[in-house]
């Protein structure tokens, strides 16, 4: 499907095989330089009844800040069903946080992977990445085949877009606002992430009330590619907890209309 905003290009959504969000929708937001393809494993691993949508977001040179991305998502997202959980990686995680803070969509949870409340990236790492050392996005345990396949895709990207992504990230800082996020949140980081180092991931988790933190050993920034099955399992567990905590309107109606058995305490 393609939907438009007048100030941006059309937004395309990659969808999971489950098209009807009987239980809810998971919205997957990729990071800068990525695409909906980075979420294929997780889109294919959702529990029954959950629909998955992964848009191909425009490059950072097309926006003025994270708020523009959030506005685009709000304007183009199809009806999500009873529940909506946003899953974001890196810059996509910053957009997910922005959606939660804006409160224009009714969210039921956040999964924040390889992201942070701020992105004070080491200048030497940034310069090396901009010079083409995209291997820095992976941890030491990543398979050479995965790294090489990803490098081939990244090298198709315009270098100016990558530079614009770093500039956009440098202006992102929501540390003072995270106490306002009143949602179930799962924060996942890689212990070998050089673009969003572990201390920034821990800072994010500590700033969101009640969030759960999971660190994946030996994993770099591209954790959904490096540890696809592990991240998919964490997402499934999180969704099961969301469903248990937020019964659907249909279930609640059935429960409230059920007659009380005589002699049973209410």
Can you list the domains of the chain with their CATH numbers? 2-245 (3.40.50.1820)
pTM of the model: 0.88
Give the C-alpha separation, 163 to 140, whole Å: 25
**What was the pLDDT predicted at 264?**
30
pLDDT by residue, tens only, the chain of 266 residues = 333 334 445 677 889 988 889 999 999 999 988 889 999 999 999 999 999 999 999 888 778 889 999 999 999 999 999 999 999 999 999 999 999 999 999 999 999 999 999 999 889 998 998 888 889 999 998 999 999 988 888 777 777 778 888 888 888 999 999 999 999 999 999 999 999 999 999 999 999 999 999 999 999 999 999 999 999 999 999 999 999 998 764 444 344 344 443 333 32
Instruction: Name, in order, each residue with C-beta under 8 angstroms of 168's C-beta and a sequence gap of 6 or more.
Output: 32, 60, 63, 65, 66, 91
Q: Among residues 78, 84, 87, 76, which one has the least CA distance to residue 50?
A: 84
């Amino acid at each position: 499907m393609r939907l438009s905003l007048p100030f941006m290009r059309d937004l395309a959504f990659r969808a999971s095989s489950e098209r009807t969000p009987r239980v809810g929708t998971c919205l997957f937001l990729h990071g800068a330089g990525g695409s909906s393809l980075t979420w294929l494993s997780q889109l294919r691993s959702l529990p029954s009844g959950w629909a998955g949508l992964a848009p191909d977001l425009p490059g950072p040179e097309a926006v003025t800040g994270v708020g523009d991305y959030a506005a685009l998502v709000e304007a183009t997202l199809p009806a999500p069903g009873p529940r909506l959980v946003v899953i974001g990686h890196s810059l996509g995680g910053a957009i997910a946080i922005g959606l939660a803070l804006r409160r224009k969509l009714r969210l039921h949870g956040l999964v924040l992977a390889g992201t942070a409340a701020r992105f004070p990236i080491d200048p030497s790492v940034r310069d090396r990445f901009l010079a083409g050392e995209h291997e820095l996005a992976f941890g030491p345990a990543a398979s050479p085949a995965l790294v090489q396949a990803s490098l081939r895709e990244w090298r198709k990207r315009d270098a100016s877009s990558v530079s614009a992504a770093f500039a956009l990230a440098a202006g992102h800082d929501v540390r003072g606002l995270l106490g306002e996020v009143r949602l179930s949140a799962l924060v996942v980081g890689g212990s070998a992430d050089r673009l969003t180092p572990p201390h920034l991931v821990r800072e994010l988790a500590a700033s969101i009330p009640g969030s759960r933190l999971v660190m994946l050993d030996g994993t770099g920034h591209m954790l959904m590619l490096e540890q696809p099955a592990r991240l998919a399992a964490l997402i499934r567990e999180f969704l099961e907890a969301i469903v248990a905590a937020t019964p659907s309107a249909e279930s609640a109606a059935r429960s409230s209309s059920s007659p009380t058995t005589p002699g049973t305490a209410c």
